[in-house]
Structure formats: C-alpha cells, structure tokens
A and B are shown apart, each in its own frame.
Chain A
Amino acid sequence: EVVLTQSPATLSLSPGEKATLSCRASQSVSNYLGWYQVKPGQGPRLLIYDTSKRATGIPARFSGSGSGTDFTLTISSLEPEDFAVYYCQQRSIWPLFGGGTKIEIK
C-alpha cells in the first residue's frame, strides 16, 4: 500500500515568510496530488488539485508542483489566516492522505 509522508511535521514561520511543504509517496502511482488546509473546528478545504491547479477561490500565493513521488506545496507569503494544518492526498486503490504539516506562528 502507498504511504504519503509529509515533512516537516511542524513549520514555525512568521507572517510574510515563504512556506514550503513536502509530500513524498512511497511509490509512484499517480502524477496527480491534492492539498487541503484544515483549521480548528472546520472541515478540510481543497487548495490544490491535479498537483498544480488551484481550487475555486484559492489565492495565488498557494502553488503546487511535483511529479512521480515528490510533491510540494508553496505558500509564497504567509498571511495570518494561513496558519493551519495541511494534508496531501493521492489516490492509489482508494484515496490516501498524508500525516499532515502544521504551520505555526513563530
């Protein structure tokens, strides 16, 4: 079974800084990957699908890239509302999620 490993587990940054989140698949199953943002008390929000396409209403500071087994979510300049937990997702036999990266305020 494919395992998605996200790193780092926690990212301590200040508003205005750039965030780079990694998601690595244990084997290459798809060139399509998604990213979600989760805030306390809210359901996940789709940010990126098909590796690099922004979902409806997602600001341009969010971008995704990658292929094969290595994927990246980049937030070019952190806004206060971006401090949250981020999950990657890919589909092997069924959809699988990574373990998450928490972006916290430094």
Chain B
Amino acid sequence: QVQLQESGPGLVKPSETLSLTCNVSGGSISTSFWSWIRQSPGRRLEYIGYFYYGGGTDYNLSLKSRVTMSVDTTKQQFFLKLTSVTAADTAVYYCARATWFGELFFDSWGKGTLVTVSS
C-alpha cells in the first residue's frame, strides 16, 4: 500500500517561495500520477495540480503561473514550488496519488503539512 509523507518549512515569508517535498513509499513513483492539494482555513479543498513521470502536467489555472511540480525518482520524492506567496496561500498542503478510474480521483494521501505565510 502506497504511503505519502509531506515535509517542508512551516513558515514562509510573503513574496517568497513555498517549497514542499512528498516522500513516497510502498509503490513506484514512476508509474502513477502525483498531485498536490491544499486546504486553507475555513475553505474547501483546492486542487493545485498533478504531474506524471512521463512528463504530463495539469495545473489549476488559478495557480498555474506560480506553480512548479517536479520529481526525483531515485529518492522516490516529488516536489511543489509555489512562488510569490501571500497570506492567502496559508493552508494545509497534502500530497496525493491521483488515479484515473472513470474520472480522476485521489486514492492515497499524506497527512498534510501546515504552511503559514507570515512575516
């Protein structure tokens, strides 16, 4: 059973870059779609995007200009970078495996990591 674990700084200053890592175990990072999803306080879950090792990516258009996702297959890790952050980017960030059933759903999740944007 695949397991995911997020890590990264819990505090980021406004205008700086948020960088998170997701460690994947129990499954190959080269054979699935991998995603980032966040939840700001009092708001619903928000899809950030996914990538596929083969090179395909899909980003939420509202964040696309600031988002980069990448992978290190040797370490079974994938990454999120979100630039020019503001207080609105304060959220619990989850990494998840995305699977295409009849549609795209997220069948394995990390526990999430809280990132606060504040000076």
Contact = CB atoms under 8 A, between A and B. Distances in A.
Nearest to B43: A99
**Dominant SS among interface residues on chain B:** strand
Interface residues of B, number: 23
Interface magnitude class on chain A: 20 to 34
Contact of B103 (A44, A91, A93): A91
A49 B47 contact: no
Interface string A47-85: 001100101100000000000000000000000000000
B45 A97 contact: yes
A42 B45 CA distance: 14
A8 to B, nearest CB: 16
Contacts of A96: 47
A22 interface: no
Interface of B: 4, 44-47, 49, 58, 60-61, 94, 96, 101-112
Given A31-B102, A32-B102, A36-B106, 13 more contacts: A43-B109, A43-B110, A46-B105, A49-B105, A50-B102, A55-B107, A94-B47, A94-B60, A94-B61, A95-B47, A97-B44, A98-B44, A99-B44
